[in-house]
Amino acid sequence: MTRFSDLALSPKILEAVEAAGYETPTPIQSGAIPPALERRDVLGIAQTGTGKTASFTLPMIHMLASGRARARMPRSLVLCPTRELAAQVAEDFDTYSRNIKLSKALLIGGVSFKEQDALIDRGVDVLIATPGRLLDHFERGKLLLTGIEIMVVDEADRMLDMGFIPDIERIFSLTPFTRQTLFFSATMAPEIERITNLFLSNPARVEVARPATASETIAQEVVRLKPSRRDRAAKEKRGLLRAIIEREGEGCRNAIVFCNRKTDVDIVAKSLQKHGFDAAPIHGDLDQPQRTRTLDKFRDGDLKFLVASDVAARGLDIPRVSHVLNFDVPSNAEDYVHRIGRTGRAGREGKAVMISLPADEKLLGAIEKLIAKDIPRVECPMQAATRGSETKGSEQPKRTRVRKKPQTSSLEPVARRSGRTVGMGDHLPSFIAMSFKERAAV
């Protein structure tokens, strides 16, 4: 087995890697670092969760530390599809370069140009940027890319999804053709293949298994919901989401709730808050300071439920996410893999629960095909409870039970355990015993 010390990285970098707690390189690291250090182009086919960030930041730091800076010209560039991912790469860069003096600038939207201009003017070794913001700087005449020696493209498949490929091509053409390119993508769509053929020169191709096939530590489940009426589906899904959270109990320490649409991210976050859960939304329409604040709170354990869209959560590295709750079945099977990869990281246990409507069966099939595994169906906690109360032949009419004043005191411990105030979810036993019509009135 390869060790980090076999990888010809400088001792200062090895110390930083050790301080980060890594013992052995992951397959993408042991595959990509040696050719990168030999100054070869690298085509890494790997997705988030495989350790790919270190597979390009470590050789970059090594090469920047051993080279010499040309005044005021950035020497390296990392392009990321989203602000969050760029911020994450910047953080990792700081971790691994802690013993080496290198300067960096993070160029992402939502931060003032003035601050970023000042950094660029001072001269930086590394630019970490989203494509749009980088080109904005270039067009304002504030940035020259002719000193770029190493260029990294991270998550190219996501760049493609987001329509960034023309920007990437333009950026490639603004950098010297002598640059070294480290290019990462989870998949090799024809369009990705085309630009790698165009801009990479005899790359070392390193391909690693999807983490989804390796993520044996993630327990997966699908809860099917048959809505009483089509126009009630969203509301009933929100009720089911709360029922799932309650069912998971104390084990649900923190969770990312994924929705397919931004509008639903807001609605679900508001609904959870209304019912006493500690939740906040994150999606591309929120301003950057707000997104950063929410993420920091979640990362620090001060926020329990992060309600997110796929783009906003892409590539986030939050080590201790206990649950991924899929409010919607993603329309793209690959997104399922990315979503559940937020939990069960670095060998920890995680749980992924997905709500599915009858109309989602086809999508579900595509996901199961992709992960080459059947996801167990579990009974809808609401419907199970409803049936339970019926078979026991409860003499008390359901409506009466619902209307009974809630026994707040007996429910408080549940709420306290979940770290929140008593809310609707605490009255779940009554709620789940209601008919769908009654539920709708709550």
| Residue 410 C-beta: closest distance to ligand AMP, Å | 41
Look up residue 152 and give its DSSP letter. E
**Residue 199 contacts residue 181 (beta carbons within 8 Å):** yes
48 binds ligand AMP (CB under 6 A): yes
Among 10, 14, 22, 276, binds ligand AMP (CB under 6 A): 22
Among 346, 358, 379, 417, binds ligand AMP (CB under 6 A): 346
Among 238, 314, 345, 427, binds ligand AMP (CB under 6 A): 345
For ligand AMP, the closer of residues 30 and 271 by Cβ is: 30
Q: Which residues pair with 82 in a beta bridge?
A: none
Packing angle, helices 333-340 and 361-371, rounded to 10: 60
424 binds ligand AMP (CB under 6 A): no
215 binds ligand AMP (CB under 6 A): no
Q: Smallest Cα–Cα separation from 423: which of 400, 406, 440, 401?
A: 406
For residue 282, CA distances in Å to 270, 291, 432 come to: 12, 6, 29
Considering only residues 303 to 322 of the shown chain, the ones binding ligand AMP according to CB under 6 A are 317, 319
For ligand AMP, the closer of residues 50 and 215 by Cβ is: 50
130 binds ligand AMP (CB under 6 A): no
Per-residue x/- mask for ligand AMP, residues 224 to 253, rule CB under 6 A? ------------------------------
Structural tokens at position 361: 């069966």
25 binds ligand AMP (CB under 6 A): yes
User: Judged by CB under 6 A, which stretch of 49-57, 125-133, 161-169, 417-425 contacts ligand AMP?
Assistant: 49-57
DSSP string, 54-108: HHHHHHHHHHHHHS-PPTT---EEEE-SSHHHHHHHHHHHHHHTTTS---EEEE-
| Residue 58 C-beta: closest distance to ligand AMP, Å | 9
User: Judged by CB under 6 A, which stretch of 20-28, 184-192, 375-383, 420-428 contacts ligand AMP?
Assistant: 20-28
350 binds ligand AMP (CB under 6 A): no
Note every long-range contact of 300-305, with CB atoms under 8 Å and residues 24 or more positions apart, other chains counting.
Answer: 301/254, 303/254, 303/278, 303/279, 304/253, 304/254, 304/255, 304/277, 304/278, 304/279, 304/418, 304/419, 304/420, 305/245, 305/254, 305/255, 305/256, 305/257, 305/269, 305/272, 305/277, 305/278, 305/279, 305/280
| Residue 90 C-beta: closest distance to ligand AMP, Å | 13
30 binds ligand AMP (CB under 6 A): no
Considering only residues 361 to 400 of the shown chain, the ones binding ligand AMP according to CB under 6 A are none
Packing angle, helices 83-96 and 52-66, rounded to 10: 50
Q: Smallest Cα–Cα separation from 322: which of 336, 342, 338?
A: 342
Sole residue written with tokens 């991210």: 265
294 binds ligand AMP (CB under 6 A): no
49 binds ligand AMP (CB under 6 A): yes
For ligand AMP, the closer of residues 186 and 422 by Cβ is: 186
Among 34, 41, 44, 52, binds ligand AMP (CB under 6 A): 52
Length of the chain, in residues: 442
| Residue 55 C-beta: closest distance to ligand AMP, Å | 8
User: Judged by CB under 6 A, which stretch of 22-30, 97-105, 140-148, 350-358 contacts ligand AMP?
Assistant: 22-30
Going by C-beta distance under 8 Å and a sequence separation of 6 or more, which residues neighbour residue 46? 28, 52, 55, 184, 186, 206, 207, 208
DSSP string, 299-317: HTTS-SEEEE-HHHHTT--
User: Judged by CB under 6 A, which stretch of 47-55, 157-165, 331-339, 421-429 contacts ligand AMP?
Assistant: 47-55
How many residues bind ligand AMP (CB under 6 A)? The answer is 15
**Residue 168 contacts residue 158 (beta carbons within 8 Å):** no
Helix (H) or strand (E) segment spanning residue 127: strand 126-129
Among 32, 33, 45, 54, binds ligand AMP (CB under 6 A): 54
For ligand AMP, the closer of residues 187 and 396 by Cβ is: 187
The rounded distance, in Å, linking the Cα atoms of 204 and 218 is 32
| Residue 47 C-beta: closest distance to ligand AMP, Å | 7
Q: Which residues bind ligand AMP (CB under 6 A)?
A: 22, 25-26, 29, 48-54, 317, 319, 345-346
